[in-house]
Amino acid sequence: MSRAEKKQRAREREERARQRVTEEASSRDKYREVQAIQAQPQGKSKKKSSSGKIFLKTFFIAFVVLTAGSLGITSAINKVSNFNPFDAGKEYTPVFEEELQLESLVDENSPFFQSFKDSKRANILLLGVNGGLTDTIMLVSFDMDNKQVDVISVPRDTYYQRRGYNGLADKKLNAAYRGNPVNTAKAVSKLLCGMPINYYAVIKYDGVEKIVDSMGGVPMDVPNINNKGGMYYTDPYDKPPLKIALKAGPQTLNGKQAVQFLRFRHGYAAGDLGRVNAQQEFMKSAFRQCIGLNLPAVAKTVFQNVDSDITLGTALKLSTKAVGISGESIKTYTLPNTLDPDPPFYVYPDREKTEEMIKEIYSVQTESTTESAVTTD
């Protein structure tokens, strides 16, 4: 071996030694971070965990029992950011995120472009799918600065025309899905004056059944529709055949009964809008029921039954933003509309009132304010 080769190898050994020292120092720093987290006072840690659970219950369970959800755990495990718990086929990559990055495009032509751009909100589209159609459509908007959760229900029968789809049923919003939540996201964003949508979550009714059972049921006061003693309806042509039979009165609905309650729509005086209101009441009850639940058991069921693009890291970051949120922080809306009383019973969106609703949610300051947004609290 020549003298030059010996010097080269010596330099390589020195370089490897420096790398090992650097890596060991980094490992010690990471160990100290973990120790510092574990050494935090129990009261403070418990407070963060509780806030994370409240967030999960609002975004994760309250919707999931209705139609899916997002997730929040505690801020103590915030280094696993790219793992998607809803997709068992994906491996995680540990990445530390100092700030929550919301990926979405804001329509520059929207009258609320600046408000959307400046807002610190996470907007999550929640879809309940049955037979390739979206039976339930909700947009959950979490104001991370003001600890406010706004839920906008969009009727499935909302009139939404698409180029090349001219059938009567094709002109309803629930037909836009076509197996891809992005299609519905684009439609909902357009209906809501270009409101950006950051994430989606999709669940089928068999998933709702399992999740409701995992949380011990949901208390509801079943209405007496058309004086028939409860909610009753049969459709032998549905796949599988649909049979709804719920007695009127206060009760705790199990998974199968919850699905019946959520799917019932024939008999409400306001048609599909009555169903939207019933679903919102169900969601609020589910939220109250979530208090004190065995979180890991419910979360596991959710992971197995929800399709979402929300990564664990994103959910953890959202949970840290939810410190201080409470059950009084959720407010529900319905897309302002006019119902056509004749078949096919389109629900026509009211653009002017929708803009007023957006102004209220995003606290847009104008010279004159109105109260024309439709609230369903």
Q: What angle do CA 237, 260, 181 make, to 5 degrees?
A: 80
pLDDT digits over 289-301, tens only? Answer: 765 555 556 667 7
Q: d(Cα 144, Cα 51) in Å, to the nearest integer?
A: 13
pLDDT number for residue 261: 94
Three-state secondary-structure class, residue 309:
coil
Of 248, 117, 105, 252, the residue nearest 189 (C-alpha):
105
Burial class (CB in 10 A: 0-12, 13-18, 19+), 134: buried
In this structure, the number of other CB atoms found within 10 A of the CB of residue 372 comes to 15
**From CA 118, how far away is CA 133, in angstroms rounded?**
34
CA-CA distance, 49 to 79, in Å (whole number)? 16
Query: Which residues of the chain carry a pLDDT beneath 50?
Result: 21, 23-24, 26-28, 30-83, 90-99, 369-370
Domains delineated in the chain: 51-217+271-361 (3.40.630.190)
User: Nearest Cα to 209, choosing from 248, 175, 254?
Assistant: 254
Can you give the pTM of this predicted structure? 0.68
User: What is the pLDDT at residue 93?
Assistant: 36
pLDDT score, position 102: 65
Residue 283 pLDDT: 81
Within 10 Å of residue 16's Cβ, how many Cβ atoms? 10
